[in-house]
């Protein structure tokens, strides 16, 4: 969750913000955003699907709207009186394009249409993914790029911004946690030869970036990448060295061959079709993992919002795992 002792933005020049509408509020990023907004006395209205109601939490200034992304009635209630809408909901698991469409493409289109026709004219922020930079790699990456294009197509009468974070980690994350736990135990698993470089961002830095966008009113019609301040990103050997120093123990590098990843991905995809679950490890995800360049440049976003990341990987690992 976000750090309650962070410096308040209340005294900074800001856009007039009273209520923020958000989708994906029960997820890792969405929940962190909600807590951070409430710390700044910004009211939050969050959409929650019936299947996720059990994950709702209560807090002063927070209102849950029950409904789906394709419901005009629910989205109307969500957007009513909102100064900004943040589409944080997204599908990250799936074996085919149809698994990602409802949240990553159709959901963006529906909310953009509703926001464009709203009397309140809320600003629109899409939390996309760095994967959208290379849509040819996977159905997930393609859906994220499609969602961005849908938003750009709604530019008439809509003040929009796109943020592409790299891999996000921190307390409460379930996707990267197993990898980080293995690193703490002294093993770093390197996919497909590990020749690439990649950026990372700690959850608190991401929430501060979004808050800076919200309060500054900056970023209209722009697409921005974010990272944790490590210019040029990381390689796997740097990850191993940082972990070894942090935990004061040898950390062994274990290379996982591309052929083994591909085989596991195809088996997992086949089993998922029989068992009826949405897989994370798929051939497309393997192509993402083995891609050579996931390095970000956050200079443009920092320039227009005055946001700067504060948490590097060493500190982020401490906050996540202790």
Kindly indicate the confidence band of residue 12, based on its pLDDT and cuts at 50, 70 and 90: very low
Looking at the predicted structure, is the pLDDT value of residue 14 above 80? Answer: no
**19-166+200-229+295-312 homologous superfamily:** NAD(P)-binding Rossmann-like Domain (3.40.50.720)
pTM of the model: 0.92
Q: What is the pLDDT of residues 285-320, one digit of tens each?
A: 999 999 999 999 999 999 999 999 999 999 999 999
The predicted structure's pLDDT at residue 145: 98
The predicted structure's pLDDT at residue 51: 87
Beta-carbon contacts of residue 21 (< 8 Å; ≥ 6 apart): 44, 45, 46, 47, 78, 79, 82, 84, 85, 86, 122
Q: Copy the structure tokens of residue 316.
A: 């982020």
Q: Copy the structure tokens of residue 307.
A: 């946001």
The predicted structure's pLDDT at residue 10: 41
| Chain mean pLDDT for the chain | 93
Q: What is the pLDDT of residues 110-168, one digit of tens each?
A: 999 999 988 888 999 999 999 999 999 999 999 999 999 999 998 778 999 999 999 99
Gap between the terminal Cα atoms of the chain: 14
The predicted structure's pLDDT at residue 1: 44
Beta strands (DSSP E) in 68-203 are 84-87, 123-127, 160-164, 167-169, 187-191, 197-198, 200-202
Q: Where are the domains of the chain?
A: 19-166+200-229+295-312
Looking at per-residue pLDDT, the higher value among 15 and 307 belongs to 307
Q: Copy the structure tokens of residue 174.
A: 């379930």
Q: What is the pLDDT of residues 219-257, one digit of tens each?
A: 999 999 999 999 999 999 999 999 999 999 999 999 999
The predicted structure's pLDDT at residue 36: 97
Kindly indicate the confidence band of residue 15, based on its pLDDT and cuts at 50, 70 and 90: low
Q: Please state, in angstroms and rounded to a whole number, the distance separating the CA atoms of residues 103 and 87.
A: 9
B/e letters for 148-165, b = 16+ CB within 10 Å, e = fewer, are bebbeebeeebbbbbbbb
């Amino acid at each position: 969750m976000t750090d309650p002792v962070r410096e308040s933005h209340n005294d900074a020049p800001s856009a007039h913000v009273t209520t923020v509408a958000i989708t994906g509020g029960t997820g890792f990023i969405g929940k962190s955003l909600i807590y951070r907004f409430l710390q700044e006395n910004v009211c939050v209205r969050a959409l929650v699907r019936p299947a996720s109601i059990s994950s709702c939490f209560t807090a002063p200034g927070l209102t849950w709207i029950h409904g789906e992304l394709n419901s005009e009635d629910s989205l109307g209630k969500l957007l009513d009186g909102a100064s900004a809408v943040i589409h944080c909901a997204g599908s990250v698991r799936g074996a085919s394009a149809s698994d990602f469409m409802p949240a990553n493409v159709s959901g963006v289109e529906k909310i953009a249409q509703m926001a464009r026709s709203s009397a309140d004219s809320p600003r629109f922020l899409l939390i996309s993914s760095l994967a959208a930079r290379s849509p040819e790699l996977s159905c997930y990456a393609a859906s994220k790029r499609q969602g961005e294009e849908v938003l750009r197509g709604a530019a008439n009468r809509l003040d929009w911004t796109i943020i592409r974070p790299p891999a996000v980690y921190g307390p409460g994350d379930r996707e990267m946690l197993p990898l980080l736990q293995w690193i703490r135990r002294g093993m770093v698993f390197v996919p497909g030869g590990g020749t690439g470089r990649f950026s990372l961002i700690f959850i608190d830095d991401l929430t501060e970036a979004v808050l800076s966008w919200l309060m500054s009113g900056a970023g209209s019609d722009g697409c921005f990448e974010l990272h944790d301040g490590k210019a040029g990103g990381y390689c796997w050997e740097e990850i191993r060295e940082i972990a070894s120093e942090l935990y004061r123990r040898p950390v062994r590098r274990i290379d996982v061959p591309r052929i083994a990843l591909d085989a596991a991905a195809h088996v997992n995809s086949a089993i998922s079709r029989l068992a009826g679950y949405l897989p994370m490890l798929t051939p497309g995800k393997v192509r993402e993992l083995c891609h050579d360049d996931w390095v970000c440049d956050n200079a443009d976003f920092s320039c227009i919002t005055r946001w700067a990341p504060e948490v590097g990987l060493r500190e982020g690992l401490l906050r996540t795992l202790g």
